[in-house]
Structure 1
Amino acid sequence: MASASVGTAETGAFALQKDRRLRWIARNQRLMKRAVILLKLFLLFLLVCDLRAAGDAGVRKPFVALTQRAYVWQRVWSPALCRSVEANAGEFTALDVFAAEIGFQPSDTVVYAEPQWDLLNKSARAVGLVIRIGSCRSRFAVNSAETNKVVAVCRRTIENAMKHGVALAELQIDYDAATSRLKDYAQLLRVLRKEFGAIRIVITVLPTWLDSPVFRELAGIADGYVLQVHSLTKPASFDQVGSLCESGQSIRWIRAAEAIGRPFRVALPTYGYRVAFASSGSFVGLQAEGPARVWPTGTRLRELWAEPAEVVRIVNTTDLERPAHCEGINWFRLPCDEDELAWRWPTLREVMHSKMPMAKLQVTAERNRDGAYDLELRNTGTGRGKAGAVRLRWSSAKLIASDMINGWQMDRESGGTVVLRPLGGVEGALLQPEETAMIGWLRFDAEVELSAAENL
């Protein structure tokens, strides 16, 4: 009896334990099924969100890299410009080429550029043609003389491109209009839209236009616009020339443009101004391109440049925020070796890739035919730079003659050492990347080995 009771108790306990285990397994299976169902519902929710985003024009587009375009703004295609286009067009998505300029006031003129169409075709880049329109008081009524003139210039430009086999990606209108004239501008765009409906029409836009109640109408007629965030106001004095492009303000303008809800690009500067002041301090004029101007005697000159640090900040912020309607960047303008007031290629290439260009200056010495050592300042970096003092050392020879040029002076130290210094405020000490400048020469009573220059 006792043994039977024990066996029955053990059997009952085993059955109870087995029953609990089965219930635990069943409960976990139900939880797993619920988890799978919830996971499927969550994935379905994400899929629906993606589909809605893809079909809704008001929702941010999928990530697409910003396009990089460059303006070719030169009226005359010199050999240096042709080399630049041929060598570097591949860095960009498209080239926007200056094609013509229409003047109304004070003289009624039209100036056409003559691009090298074969190079544009060879570049395999998209091509936009830019028509520059000077300020005009016309209301641009249909069939008015001013309207017909703009239409005729646009037609000739388009036909010229077609004749040379260039597939025109867009026609860009750069009209120097006051904000109060935007209603008239909208009328002109309607005419151009009717005349050239098959061609994408883009307009250049000033930030002050964004607040105008007419601007949305204007932007709605065009296929897109290029927001120009660089400009120069009349300098207050030689010591207060202002800024060409300020990152904080530019970013605010880009955000305001995004709120308009129309496709746009951002025009960023790669150039500088040469600003002239009279000896009295009053503003005389400025130059941004072309051959060096001849200024009146006594004129003081200084240069104002687009600062890479400011432009990099704009590029980085735009890339980070990714405005839904921002299609890319237009660089003004394409670098060219003979263009003294534009960034060099190494600088622009760094900024395009969101990197900060850095100068790397050094002095080299090379013995010439006469036995003297020519001193040359080189910039082997990627940014503009101004040299400081450098020390040169040698041994077993006596320095017997020397001369410093281009704003440099020399201080002798004990033994075989001299210190070379740029005079204060000398622009000659400021070098572009890949640029060199002669700064003087040294002559010794015997052949020497000059040590590497050392920035102080």
Structure 2
Amino acid sequence: MKRWAAMAGALLLALAAWAAGHYQAVHSLKTWDQQVYLWQRVWTPEHATALAASHELFSTLRVLGLQVHPRDGLREVAVNRDLLRQDGRPLWLVVRLDGQLQQLNVTVIHQHLLQQLQRWQSAGLTVIGIEIDHDAATARLAEYQHFLQQLRQQLPASLQLGITVLPTWLTSPVLPDVLQQVDSSVLQVHAVLSPEQGLFDGQLALSWVRQFARISPRPFRVALPAYGIGLIGFDAQGAQVESEASLRVAGHTEELTVAPQQIASFLQQLALLKPRHLRGIVWFRLPLEGDRRAWSMATLRAVIQQQPLSTRWRVEFLPQQNGLYDLNIQNSGPIDAPLPREIRIQATGCLAADAVGNYQLAGASEPLRFIRIRGDQLRAGQSRPLGWLHCQEITPGDTHVIP
């Protein structure tokens, strides 16, 4: 009896520890500040709807306003300043400096940045900071530190200065000096691996955050993905990356997506980690209705608010004539999800069948097996063509979707 009592006591202690940890994780998630990137280079009427729907989710907007590219030079993004003024939330003006730039001309960049800043402020926008997004090579961090030091001296003292940080910088002895030049930073843990490794690796991201928390002397946030990308012409020589805008080039496209459950799991583990100086999350990017690679607003809200992330799939049989059916795969759940890897349909007397789009038919044996050959994301409530079949009878209730 004593042995059983001891085991029961140990179990109760373990359950209490788990409950305490779970409570702390949930509490941390609720207290973190949530911000979002507006990264679209072309603004559309969809921005008004997305901004209105996002007010309860995001305290602050980080808006791409200026790009500097080796070929295109300086280019200001024509944001809708009237819309941002009506929105009323505080803003960070984000400056994207391409990693291939041979040098960073602080005088020219500051001149254009200051002019743009004055236009935004004159339009009634509440600009609280400047964020520099620069994928500098680790070997050039000392040069980048000098650039930031000069820029800080020339910016108004009322403005915060921030940067994005790459995981490849974490082992550099120069990184602490770089961080001394700014008020805060955003650690980017998505789209930093080679394409074949995917958009996001939760365990790697946790190790990067843990490492960065030991280095950063000031507040930081973590940038998380709520989107997918397409790799066009992916081969040994690399690929062109297509995201929120079409590149309008021909070639085979491989889709890379991040499942909402993957990010939700990461957030739970991050909350238990309780990194020093972590203040919140910056989501990439604000979902627009026509942005097929971004999560829907409903899905992003579900992840942030820790709602259930269940997926439900349904195969639609659309009768045509004489035993011919068109097939759709429908996401009937509450969140966006990657297309399922296989659909099995039991039918008899089949004369012909085929798959379309992202699927391929695996032979003509029963059950008919539709195998995913290209990944993609399907928003909640939407359907995608799966294929067709010509069969005498489809067995009711014997269609299986394998996520």
The TM tier, using the shorter chain, reads: 0.7 to 0.9
Separation in structure 2 between the aligned mates of residue 341 and residue 234 of structure 1, nearest angstrom: 19
Contact kept, 8 Å, 1:335 with 1:344, in 2: the verdict is yes
Matching of residues 129-278 of structure 1 within 5 Å:
129-135=93-99, 136-138=101-103, 146-196=105-155, 197-235=157-195, 241-260=196-215, 261-277=217-233
Structure 1: segments with no counterpart, 5+ residues = 1-61, 141-145, 236-240
Contact kept, 8 Å, 1:362 with 1:453, in 2: the verdict is no
Aligned position for 2:20: none
Contact kept, 8 Å, 2:338 with 2:375, in 1: the verdict is no
Q: 1:432 aligns with which of 357, 376, 379?
A: 379
Matching of residue 97 in structure 1 with residue 58 in structure 2 = no
Separation in structure 2 between the aligned mates of residue 410 and residue 226 of structure 1, nearest angstrom: 45
Contact kept, 8 Å, 1:202 with 1:225, in 2: the verdict is yes
Write the deviation string for residues 68-120 of structure 1: whole angstroms up to 9, x where unpaired.
111110011122343222322431121111101012x3x36111112222332
Opposite residue 224 of structure 2, the aligned amino acid is: L
Separation in structure 2 between the aligned mates of residue 209 and residue 220 of structure 1, nearest angstrom: 15
Question: May I ask how many residue pairs the two structures share in their alignment?
Answer: 368
Write the deviation string for residues 361-380 of structure 1: whole angstroms up to 9, x where unpaired.
11235678999876433102
Write the deviation string for residues 183-230 of structure 1: whole angstroms up to 9, x where unpaired.
222222222222222101111111222332222222122111111112
Contact kept, 8 Å, 2:187 with 2:221, in 1: the verdict is yes
User: Is the partner of 1:114 in helix, strand or coil?
Assistant: coil
CA pair 410-250 structure 1, distance change in 2 beyond 3 A: closer
Separation in structure 2 between the aligned mates of residue 68 and residue 120 of structure 1, nearest angstrom: 18
Matching of residues 274-353 of structure 1 within 5 Å:
274-277=230-233, 281-295=235-249, 299-353=251-305
CA pair 83-373 structure 1, distance change in 2 beyond 3 A: farther
Separation in structure 1 between the aligned mates of residue 123 and residue 179 of structure 2, nearest angstrom: 31
CA pair 234-319 structure 1, distance change in 2 beyond 3 A: closer
Deviation of 1:133 (Å): 1.2
Aligned position for 2:13: none
Opposite residue 129 of structure 2, the aligned amino acid is: E
Larger radius of gyration: 1
Aligned position for 1:4: none
Matching of residue 78 in structure 1 with residue 44 in structure 2 = yes
Matching of residue 68 in structure 1 with residue 44 in structure 2 = no
Q: Which moved more, 1:299-308 or 1:73-82?
A: 299-308
Contact kept, 8 Å, 2:36 with 2:284, in 1: the verdict is yes
Matching of residues 32-51 of structure 1 within 5 Å:
none
Q: Which moved more, 1:209-218 or 1:157-166?
A: 209-218
After superposition, the CA RMSD in angstroms is 3.7
CA pair 165-367 structure 1, distance change in 2 beyond 3 A: farther
Separation in structure 2 between the aligned mates of residue 351 and residue 91 of structure 1, nearest angstrom: 11
User: Is the partner of 1:161 in helix, strand or coil?
Assistant: helix
Aligned position for 1:128: 92
Aligned position for 1:384: 337
Deviation of 1:318 (Å): 2.2
Structure 2: segments with no counterpart, 5+ residues = 1-26
Contact kept, 8 Å, 1:66 with 1:319, in 2: the verdict is no
Deviation of 1:452 (Å): 6.9
CA pair 373-242 structure 1, distance change in 2 beyond 3 A: closer
Separation in structure 1 between the aligned mates of residue 106 and residue 249 of structure 2, nearest angstrom: 38
CA pair 438-180 structure 1, distance change in 2 beyond 3 A: closer
Identity %: 27
Separation in structure 2 between the aligned mates of residue 175 and residue 385 of structure 1, nearest angstrom: 31
Q: Which moved more, 1:92-101 or 1:331-340?
A: 331-340
Considering fraction of residues, name the structure with more strand.
2
CA pair 412-208 structure 1, distance change in 2 beyond 3 A: closer
Greater relative contact order (Cα < 8 A, sep 6+): 2
Deviation of 1:344 (Å): 2.7
Aligned position for 1:26: none
Separation in structure 2 between the aligned mates of residue 79 and residue 207 of structure 1, nearest angstrom: 36
Write the deviation string for residues 247-271 of structure 1: whole angstroms up to 9, x where unpaired.
2221122122222221111111222
Contact kept, 8 Å, 2:60 with 2:89, in 1: the verdict is yes
Contact kept, 8 Å, 1:410 with 1:419, in 2: the verdict is no
Matching of residues 344-423 of structure 1 within 5 Å:
344-354=296-306, 357-365=309-317, 375-381=327-333, 382-387=335-340, 388-389=342-343, 391=345, 405-406=356-357, 407=359, 421-423=369-371
Write the deviation string for residues 281-328 of structure 1: whole angstroms up to 9, x where unpaired.
5244132414444555xx543222234444223311222232231111
Contact kept, 8 Å, 1:364 with 1:452, in 2: the verdict is no
User: Is the partner of 1:101 in helix, strand or coil?
Assistant: strand
CA pair 73-444 structure 1, distance change in 2 beyond 3 A: same
Separation in structure 2 between the aligned mates of residue 455 and residue 353 of structure 1, nearest angstrom: 31
Aligned position for 1:48: none
